[in-house]
Amino acid sequence: MDLFAPIKDHHHEKRIFVSRIFLSVVISILLLGTVVARLVQLQVIEHEQFSELSQGNRVRTEAVPPIRGLIYDRKGRILAENLPAYQLELIPEQISDIDDTLERLARLRLIAADEIERIKSLAKQGPRFKPVTLRFRLNDDEISDFAIHRHRFPGVDFQPRLVRHYPNAKYTAHAIGYVGALSSNDLQRLDAAEYAGTAHTGKTGIEYANEAKLHGDTGFRKLVTNARGRQIPTDPRDLPDTLPANESPEPGENIYLSIDLDLQKIATDALEGQRGSAVAIDPRNGEILALVSAPSFDPNLFALGMTNAQFSSLQNDQDRPLFNRAVRGNYPPGSTIKPMLALAALEIGATNLTRRTLCIGHYSLPGSSHRYRDWIPQGHGEVDLHDAIEQSCDVYFYEISRKIGIDNIHDYLLEFGLGQFTGVDISGEKKGLMPSIKWKRNAFRERADQTWFPGETVIASIGQGYMLATPLQLANAVAALATRGKRYRPHMVAATEDPMSGERDLISPEALPDVSINNEFYWERVIGAMNGVMQGARGTARAVGEGADYDMAGKSGTAQIFSVAQDDEYDEEEVALRLRDHALFIAFAPLDDPQIAVAIVVENGASGSRVAAPIARAIMDHHLGFAASAL
């Protein structure tokens, strides 16, 4: 062992230290080179790509809703428009106590108390900087009241917007329909991208059926936002040129309807206080001139947003004002089918123009004691086909029904459009029902209920039993009578218009298969009998047709909804109002050049001639340019 060996080797330590320094420098240079290389990649090589991604985080695209198309009547009068209005909005992040704010707004009657929970729920669903609509339209007094108290409501203010408005609300509610707030079901059937900035959509009537035309195309605009998504005021010229330009929305098409606002008003006023419907059609082309259901309602409530109490009141009203009786109401057509049944009987030889029947006030099937009663207890005496239609003799049709048969009744009435969809261009139409042997066999589960009985044919001959039709179908059927079998699909849209160019696209009438009656002479004899109903010496509606300046044809009907025992008599005054017979009337005019066909149904009106016929006369008078008759 070397006693004098050095304890510390300075040269060795120095070499180690130098080598470590060198290694550290190399590693640092490599790391710095990596950082520099990455910076060059990001800032130079991939600059354009990351610049676009950065702008995407900073610039948000917001949908701009289009202006909804307008709706006009046949004379160019506005039926649905868009009006500027102020809506009350709340921004949650600017309010420290939302409960107190909403309660104070309710005390000022700016919102309904029962809406507070719904508003609070909406405020919690989205970002706190997003406004929540409290009211869709404020009137001038409400704006003034809020302006006085605005300092007490930080985070609450009113903003301008366009809202749907129906200036002739109750007169056109069921024909035009209404718009309402988008629901989850609506968003499932609609293009979500097209409705990104839209709050409302058509719910019923023309508004629903023509939603694609009325809505228009959504546009978009660019908004600069911060990391939280809040908009930052920015000059659009400062945005990069690489971003797509703003796209303006395209307004929806304007729609011109065939309905006449004057006829709508006449029919609506005539049905005031009653439940029923009136439909008028131009038999030459199928244009609907009037479509009214009573009672009506105010569609503006749906466009503006109604309270729970308001909606509940409409829903629970026993008169069902939201129910469109014109296209959805199924009623026994009663004696209004007799002219059509007479044509069928003549065509198949079940009767002829000279055959006479003795009406003693009732009829019984061979081998049966059951009496099918006529509406006149003592009977009409001896009648032929003309008399049977003019005086509405039930017994005559009871007798010939056995020879016609239910299947022939079914087939011929289908040719007139009864018991099937008309294909009208509004939503919600019901089919009605024309019974047959096959129908009954398939309609009932129990075998004993599947048999068609002769007595069911008897009551079907006067439009009772299983038979059901809508007022629109009845109007369409009488239009076919007016044209001697020429038929057109009923429609309300007469033209669409490009709001930018003003160019109109007219809707052509759609012809349907003609009614196949081979002997043209039968048409004239049956229509002559219908003329006798209104202007004949013994016509059931002669009081209504009296004094007219033009020839007209019509047929009254009474649809029984309350059964009377065999030996009892029907007393209108003793039957509860809602159990009384429905009153029906169909008519067309002028006789030789038909321009209008009308169907009227008054629920529980009891008498078609006395209650429904005057409404038809008033509608025809106005349309043909004559002084309106007294209702």
Tell me the catalytic residues: 335
Fold of 261-307+324-568+575-624: Beta-lactamase (3.40.710)
Segment 416-438, tens digit of pLDDT: 999 999 999 998 899 999 999 99
Which residues have CB under 8 Å from 617's CB, separation 6+?
Answer: 544, 545, 548, 552, 587, 629
Report whether 612 contacts 556 (CB < 8 A). yes
What's the pLDDT score for residue 50?
Answer: 56
Beta bridge partners of 373: 362
Q: Output phi, psi for 312, to 5 deg.
A: -60, -40
From the centroid of its chain, how far is CA 568? 43
DSSP 126: S
- Block means of pLDDT (10 residues each) for the chain, 631 residues, are 59 76 84 81 67 52 80 95 83 78 81 76 66 74 80 79 89 92 75 73 91 86 57 54 65 94 95 94 96 93 77 86 93 94 94 91 88 88 93 93 94 95 92 94 89 93 93 97 96 93 92 92 95 92 89 90 49 60 92 95 85 94 76 55
| pTM of this structure | 0.80
Domain ranges of the chain: 261-307+324-568+575-624
pLDDT at site 598: 97
- Give residue 347's pLDDT: 94
Instruction: Quickly list DSSP for 353-414.
Output: SS--EEE-SEE--TT----EE-SSTT--EEE-HHHHHHTT-HHHHHHHHHHH-HHHHHHHHH
Instruction: Please give the pLDDT value at position 184.
Output: 66
Cβ neighbour number for residue 283 with a 10 Å cutoff: 23
Q: What is the pLDDT of residue 513?
A: 94
Q: Which two tokens stand for residue 213?
A: 């035309």
Report residue 225: phi and psi, to 5°: -125, 165
Q: Would you say 490 and 281 are in contact if contact means Cβ atoms under 8 Å apart?
A: yes
- pLDDT at res. 245: 61
Nearest of 527, 507, 536 to residue 593 by alpha carbon: 527
